[in-house]
Amino acid sequence: MAEAGIIDGRAVAARVREQLKTDVAEFTARTGIQPGLATVLVGDDPASEVYVASKRKSSVAAGMADLHQHLPEDATQAQVEELLRQLAANHAVSGILLQLPVPAHLDAASLIELIPFEKDVDGLTTMSVGLLAQGKPGLRPCTPSGVIELLDAYDVPIEGARVVVIGRSELVGRPVAQLLVNRNATVTIAHSRTKDLAAVCREADIIVAAVGVKGLVTGEFVKPGATVIDVGIHRGADGLSGDADFASVSEVAALVTPVPGGVGPMTIAMLLANTLRAAELQYSLAD
């Protein structure tokens, strides 16, 4: 069998960003409102600083306002809460993103709940999760949205497809499963208690690996001609790798995402898309 085709996340993300630049300019010209993204970083975690800097740079490149806020490592719960309330009330702020993880002395869950659903560009609040579960319009988590965007970009049929999502995290597994159900896929959520995981996966037309176990999915898990979306990312002496063993999976699958260069680039692209959607939502609510 021929080696699997590569799903190029960098190329798809670049197309999404280029379209967003046009859409943001059109929205600003039509409404007089420039979408603004408020990234909130508490502390000086090096990895978080890199992630936030990339998000800020990308938002500016898309024509959005960079409304970044940085609090010190020892900021109190009350101080972070007050900042989030101010951003929630600020009409210049279209989207609020609290960079995770926050310092251990802070209660991240309660902080996230202070973000209004119409500004929740991470799609993590209880309201956003509920809107997704009910199939109602709202802001969806960025990485799961990126998975759907990749499948659509490569014309992978979702409606009627059998899908196995490996992993049930609130950040990826559960929301991507719900997005796929909303697109009329038949979805199985597999996890650490799933019996004979390989056999379950071999029934799937699409496998989404989002469990955080390096190289878990091998060619033995994959039905010939299936699509494998690898959300995992692991750093090792040999570089980055994912939850799927790329070499063996490529021998069986029709399409597979590489790590790096697959799902990863989509996350910031979908964050920008969410920021524009948030601005549009707030504009419509103000009418």
pTM above 0.85, yes or no: yes
* 55 among known catalytic residues: yes
Catalytic residue among 23, 55, 119, 205: 55
Break the chain into its structural domains and give their ranges: 32-119, 141-264
Amino acid at 103: P
Residue 168 among known ligand-binding residues: yes
- Which percentage of the chain shows pLDDT scores above 90? 96
CATH class of domain segment(s) 32-119: alpha beta
Task: Give the list of residues 6+ apart from residue 82 with CB closer than 8 angstroms, or none.
Answer: none
Task: Give the list of residues 6+ apart from residue 88 with CB closer than 8 angstroms, or none.
Answer: 96, 114, 115, 116, 119
Average pLDDT over residues 24-39: 98
pLDDT at 3: 78
Tokens coding 255: 């399409």
**How do residues 215-252 score in pLDDT, each as one tens digit?**
999 999 999 999 999 999 999 888 999 999 999 999 99
Residue 169 among known ligand-binding residues: yes
Q: Reply yes or no on whether the pLDDT at 174 is more than 60.
A: yes
Same fold for the pair 32-119 and 141-264: yes
- Own/partner pairs for 158-161, CB < 8 Å, 24+ apart? 158/183, 158/184, 158/185, 158/206, 159/183, 159/184, 159/185, 160/184, 160/185, 160/186, 161/185, 161/186, 161/205, 161/206
Average pLDDT over residues 198-206: 98
141-264 has which CATH code? 3.40.50.720
* 69 among known catalytic residues: no
Q: Binning pLDDT at 50, 70 and 90, where does residue 99 land?
A: very high
Average pLDDT over residues 154-170: 97
Average pLDDT over residues 161-178: 97
Residue 48 among known ligand-binding residues: no
Average pLDDT, the chain: 96
pLDDT at 285: 85
* 99 among known catalytic residues: yes
